[in-house]
Amino acid sequence: MIDLAREGDVFVLRMDSGENRFSPEFVARYSSCLDEVEQVDGPKALVTTGTGKFYSNGLDLENMMADGGAGANRYIASVLELLRRTLVLPCVSVAAVNGHAFGAGGQIAVAHDIRLMRSDRGFFCMPEIDMHAPLHPGMVALLKARIPSVGVHEVLVTGRRYGGELAAEKGIVDRALPEADLLPAAIEQAAALADKAHPVMSRIKADLYPKVIEAMALPLGSAAI
């Protein structure tokens, strides 16, 4: 489902579960990988990527509603915690977006310090407007904090799909690269900043985004996805 390997000072987290939707099991495994990274002392950095044509298609809505929605709030809280932990990770994080990044899958990419995206395949998209479904305020706050204001308005209001080149132009990602260069570039950039890892980095990131963290802690509405 998720593999965590180490290349020098860089941990590479590879999601490999089809569309890489955030099932409860997926969230638990991702969280345990973050635990492992956080527990290592010394230089370190994190790169995340997917396999095939998916980085992540986000929430597992079918699983979330399987019990009539009774566990939806608990499930969304677990996803928000994953987003928060990624945002304030005590080392540099780089998303190597190899394919589709939809909904919460796009949000977790945005939560990384650096975002690289494949230039020739895959889309970044927030499809909630077409689903007639609101996002949790913490998810909106994350996107507002990490994407330029004009761009994030378009992202949320239109549900537009952004290929790598357009996503870079709009500031959703930092660079778009050919597939062959994507992961090596992500690892190289992460390695160059691995010596910055320190618990104080988590504090600095939290101080950068206090409104995001506050919004993520707001009570959950049953319709907020």
DSSP string, 64-117: HTTTTTTTHHHHHHHHHHHHHHHHT-SSEEEEEE-SEEETHHHHHHHTSSEEEE
Res 158 pLDDT > 60: yes
Q: Which residue has the higher pLDDT, 220 or 39?
A: 39
53: number of Cβ within 10 Å: 13
pLDDT at 225 over 60: no
Per-residue pLDDT band at 63 (split at 50, 70, 90): confident
Report the amino acid identity of residue 146. Answer: R
Q: Break the chain down into helix, strand, coil percent, rounded to 5.
A: 50, 20, 35
- Prediction pTM value: 0.94
Q: Judge whether 97 and 57 are in contact, CB under 8 Å.
A: no
Percentage of the chain lying above the pLDDT 70 cut: 96
Residues 39 and 46: beta-carbon distance below 8 Å: no
Strand order of the β-sheet with 2-7 is 2-7, 10-15, 45-49, 92-97, 114-118, 175-177
Question: Over 80: is that where the pLDDT of 54 sits?
Answer: yes
- The superfamily CATH assigns to domain 2-216 is 2-enoyl-CoA Hydratase; Chain A, domain 1 (3.90.226.10)
Model confidence at 29: pLDDT above 50: yes
Length of the chain measured in residues: 225
Strands 2-7 and 45-49: unpaired
> Of the candidates 181, 13, 1, which has an alpha carbon nearest to the alpha carbon of residue 112?
13
Rounded-to-integer distance, Cα 191 and Cα 208, Å:
23
| Residue 193: Cβ within 10 Å count | 18
The answer to whether residues 174 and 116 touch, using CB atoms and an 8 Å cutoff, is yes
> Is the model's pLDDT at 181 over the cut of 50?
yes
| pLDDT at residue number 222 | 40
**Overall average pLDDT of the 99-125 stretch:** 97
Lowest mean pLDDT among 47-51, 127-131, 136-140, 216-220: 216-220
In the predicted structure, residue 224 carries a pLDDT above the cut 70: no
pLDDT at 67: 66
* Confidence at 73, pLDDT banded by 50, 70, 90: confident
Taking the C-alpha atoms of residue 103 and residue 124, their distance in angstroms, rounded to an integer, is 8
12 vs 4: CA distance, rounded Å: 6
Structure token pair of residue 64? 């979330």
**pLDDT at residue 72 in the model:** 83
- Tell me how far apart the alpha carbons of residues 183 and 202 are, in angstroms, rounded to a whole number: 24
Average of per-residue pLDDT across 162-175: 98
CA distance 52 to 61: 22
Q: What percent of the chain has pLDDT over 90?
A: 88
Task: Say which amino acid occupies 14.
Answer: R
Instruction: Please tell me which residue, 69 or 154, carries the higher pLDDT value.
Output: 154
Out of 35-44, 71-80, 140-149, 215-224, least confident range? 215-224
